[in-house]
Amino acid sequence: MKAIVTRRFGNPPEMGVEERPEPVPRAGFTLVRMRAATINQLSHTIRTGDFGFPTSPLVLGNEGAGVVEESDRFTPGTRVAVYGHSDLGVTVDGLFQEWALVRDDRLLQLPDTLDWAEGSALTVNYLTAYLALTKAAKVHSGQIALVSGATGSLGHAVMQTARALGARPVALVSSAHKARRAAEAGATAVIDSSSRTTDEAIAELTDGQGVDIALDPVGGPRLGELIRAVRRHGTVVSLGFTGGRQAAVDIMDLLAGERVVTGYGVHGDSDEEIAKGLNDIGRLAAEGLLRPVIDSRYALDDFEAGYTRLASREAVGSLALEL
């Protein structure tokens, strides 16, 4: 089978398509014929050597979609989405290959309404969004949820999931083009930081009270803005660092408003929490409330073009590798 193999980690990494033997089925695992996987920030961070101490050679890819070929849990032919947790594409070979062996409890039956590319983007981002909202932010119906980077793959998932849970998502974006896309994606309000300050827009939107919760996949300078944007006793959940790992925080913003700042990472959750989360997002997707947006699709041999697009930070939605 064909696989994209990372031979050396660094900047730039050394990667290429190679022939590999197909995985051998075993108890508790499902053999999946992969159809698509996402080119995402996690795999980019790993390949450039900025995530732990990966061992080469390694096949990256932590989320994807395909069809069951052999399984104790699923009927052959079942369409599934794959969640790689903290091992697939991180410590062991992942999903950038034509066949993959996946733990039975890390698969989600894919609704017929989603194609392979959309299905490939249904697990990591939507699990992160769902559990960050329900577990870390403790979202309630009717609350205003501010989402930074709202047109990115994770930001879009957070915004959609917040709406599905009854909250009112407010998109924080960096350009007029992204503002239009966020409005089309269902934001109840959109703030374009290229035309006005976040502080000013939030004060106007909430009559000076602040939003109830804020979720931040961007990091960097955005985190300080989001802390100021939440109301007294409000919560900010940090989800990523595409805008930088260092953030300047005014301690007075925390003390005066008694605001809560916390982080959330899906790969640290228990198997039970993940299984329930997968079940819940599968139900919401089947009801038509969750649907990933695909920015662009790439053939297996053209994977570097996908990473170039990822690095541009111009993508609106997820990047899919077609297998």
Contact 153, 40 (CB under 8 A): yes
Q: Which residues contact 184 (CB under 8 A, 6 or more apart)?
A: none
Q: Residue 23: its pLDDT value, please?
A: 95
Write down the pLDDT at residue 232.
Answer: 95
| 93 contacts: CB under 8 Å, gap ≥ 6 | 3, 58, 59, 100
- Return the axis-axis angle of helices 153-164 and 271-286, rounded to nearest 10°: 80
Say what the pLDDT of residue 246 is: 80
pLDDT, averaged across the chain: 94
CA–CA dist 284, 28 (Å, integer): 26
Q: Which residue has the tokens 């559990």?
A: 131
- Per-residue pLDDT at 146: 97
Residue 76 Cα distances to 42, 68, 73, 258, angstroms: 30, 5, 9, 53
Round to whole Å and give the CA distance between 119 and 71.
19
Q: Which residues of the chain have pLDDT under 70?
A: none
- What the chain holds in terms of domains, given with CATH numbers, is 2-122+292-322 (3.90.180.10), 125-266 (3.40.50.720)
pLDDT tens figures, 66-106:
999 999 999 999 999 999 998 999 999 999 999 999 999 99
pLDDT at res. 89: 96
pLDDT of residue 157: 94
